[in-house]
Every structure is written in C-alpha cells, then in structure tokens.
Chain A
C-alpha cells in the first residue's frame, strides 16, 4: 500500500487536529490537575518556627579560633557521618563564605567584617518550599501546624528532584550506607542511639530538630551555641509578635538568602 504525498498530508493534518482536540479535552475535563502548581503548599496556620543567626556574635567567636560546635552537635544528634569527601558530604548545618552565601549581594568592595568569613548555613524551612512542590512521593512535606519542612525517610525514593529544586544546597544525597562511612573519621558512629540513621539512596537535610522541639527542647545547634555562651543562634516562633525572634528582627537589620526567589526563607541573618 503506497501513500502518496497528498494522502500523507491529509493523515498528518487529521492527526494534528485530533491531537490538539485531545489536549483541549483533557484540559477541560481536569482543569488545573496537570499544571504544575505555583501556589505551593498551604500557608502555615499555627506556629512558624524560624531561626535568627546573629553573625556578629558568631564571627566574633570565630575570630578567636575555629568554632564548629553547632555543626558537631547536630551531627552527633542525627548520626550524620563524615565521609571525608566534600563531593558526597552530608550537610545539615555547615559553613560557607559570605560571598557564596549571599550571591545576590554583589559588591566589588565588601565590608571587611564579612569578606570571606564563614557563615552558618542550614535548611531555611521556607514558607513556600520548592522542594516540597517537586517531591513526587510527598516524602518532603511542610508541617502545617508549625511550618517545619520535614522529610519522611520511609517514603524517599532518592530521585533528587528536591536537590535540584532547593536554591540553597540544603539537601544531601546518601551515596553510601552511613554505617559504612570510614571508621577512622567516625570512631563512635552511631553517636545517638535514640535517633535512626539513613539508608543508601535517600536525601536528607536539617529537620529543625523536630524530635527535640516536640519535647520542648531547643534544637541541638542552638543548645550547643548557648552552652559556650556565644548565643548567636536564636530559635523561635515568627507567628508570635512577642517572640524572641520577632524582637530581634524588630531591633536589627536582617537579611535572608535569595529572597527574590520567593521561597520565603525562615532563617534570618543579622550582619
């Protein structure tokens, strides 16, 4: 059976018409169902946990010598292994220099108080978290009652969409089994027998210490910072106008990371 030019064009034309009609029918029958949501997750109704990091105090402490107490405390609390390789590092709370933390504050002549200085980074627990929107299994979700962006490790399939979506690099992938991390670097792993580890092939990130704040304690990093009397990390409820964090934000000029992206980060920096 030979199809001539005329016949072929006819078939192609009908196919196109049918295709367009088919798409229109889908749009009419299921409005909005197939579109990527731009509205994001429901707004937080209850509390809105946030952190205010007073970098003046943190940097003053670091002037006197390296301080990684908050990072160590977090890693101990959550059994975060040290792989000794930055390419596969697991980061819950970590440090990077000012210019990398605030790439949207470009300045040829940077204040020497902050130039190249190590800033404390962690998950921003965004008001409108892009990682939640892209997660195909809803393993990452925003807790509606207190705004924490949490992960359900049981559901994570390791697709790493969230890592691509997060503009802050707050998510890390487990390339190896945490239990098999180099023993030399992790002599007493697992450090917290009351907290699980992760399995190979899941993504993880800071959880604002949900396991501690539900008992009424402060997150491990905040506790560690308070313990050495630096008090640079402040944890509190942004929804309450009388809270410690709102007080700090009222009295000081603060900045957030990449606010123009509209994610609404809940971690504030006083510089």
Chain B
C-alpha cells in the first residue's frame, strides 16, 4: 500500500471527527421530557380522549379539527364518552393546558419538532 501511514492516520482523524459528538456527550444524558399538568388539568382528570391516545395522536386530532372547523364549519366534537367539546386549540385545549412551556414545549423540544401553530394561534400568558 502506497502512503499507508498517511492513509491510516487520515482515517483515524476522520473517524475521530465523526465520532467526536458521541465522545463530547458521553456520560451525560439528555433531560427526558417532563410535561407538567396544570392544576386545572389535574382536577379534570380526563382530556378530550384517553391520555394514551392524546399522547400519541393529538396532532392527528388537531389536524382533523382544523380541517373540519375551517372547511366544513363543524365547530363541535363529540368525544368517545359522549361529551361535546368546542373544537379550538386556543380556547379549549389551552384552557386546561395553559402552561405551554411546561406542557407542550417539553416533548416538542425533546423530539425536536416545532409546530407552527403558535405563529398565529395565541398561547395563554404564563406567570414567570
């Protein structure tokens, strides 16, 4: 192999650079998301649908809500348990989950998703 030494040194430096983020972060784990329910949400006990569904698919539901409200004019949602809800992120969801930074942002930041809901929809004011 011509220039074997140079190639191997180059490879070692290359792989080292590639792995450097792993070494840099070794030992420290990212903070797991810790969504906090507000007092009001805790007292209510139930969300629109069961917690598991909300955790996994709230975005599907919100997408469906915005479509049916805006394009079909259906403003009310009948939940599986028969309760009727006004379909509104800003009015209904954020009424209970009024602490956006401690609830929504926890998982969204962890998963590195940035939903653009808040470009237009107004998040409730939070006490600092």
Interfacial residues, chain A to chain B (CB-CB below 8 A): 141, 143, 145-146, 150, 152-154, 190, 193-199, 210, 214-215
Contacts and interface: CB of A to CB of B under 8 A. Distances in A.
17 contacts: A145-B73, A152-B71, A154-B66, A154-B70, A193-B90, A193-B122, A195-B90, A196-B90, A196-B120, A196-B121, A196-B122, A197-B120, A197-B121, A197-B122, A214-B73, A214-B75, A215-B75
B59 to A, nearest CB: 13
Contacts of A194: 88, 90-91
Interface string B30-43: 00000000000000
Contacts of A215: 75
A210 B73 contact: yes
B18 interface: no
A194 B88 CA distance: 9
B116 interface: yes
B119 interface: yes
Interface residues of B, number: 14
Contacts of B120: 153, 196-199
Contacts of B116: 199
Contacts of A193: 90, 122, 124
Contacts of A146: 73
Contacts of A195: 90
Contacts of A197: 120-122
Nearest to A143: B73
B88 to A, nearest CB: 8
Nearest to A200: B119
B71 A141 contact: yes
Contacts of B73: 143, 145-146, 210, 214
A152 B70 contact: yes
A208 to B, nearest CB: 12
Nearest to B70: A152
Nearest to A141: B71
Most buried by B among A145, A150, A153, A196: A196
Contacts of B119: 199
Interface string B5-30: 00000000000000000000000000
B71 A190 contact: no
Most buried by A among B88, B91, B120, B124: B120
Most buried by A among B75, B91, B122, B124: B122
B120 to A, nearest CB: 4
Which 6 pairs, one residue from A and one from B, show the smallest C-beta to C-beta distance? A199-B119, A196-B120, A196-B121, A152-B70, A197-B120, A194-B91
Given A154-B66, A197-B122, 8 more contacts: A141-B71, A152-B71, A193-B124, A194-B91, A195-B90, A196-B121, A199-B119, A210-B73
Contact of B122 (A145, A190, A199): A190
B65 to A, nearest CB: 11
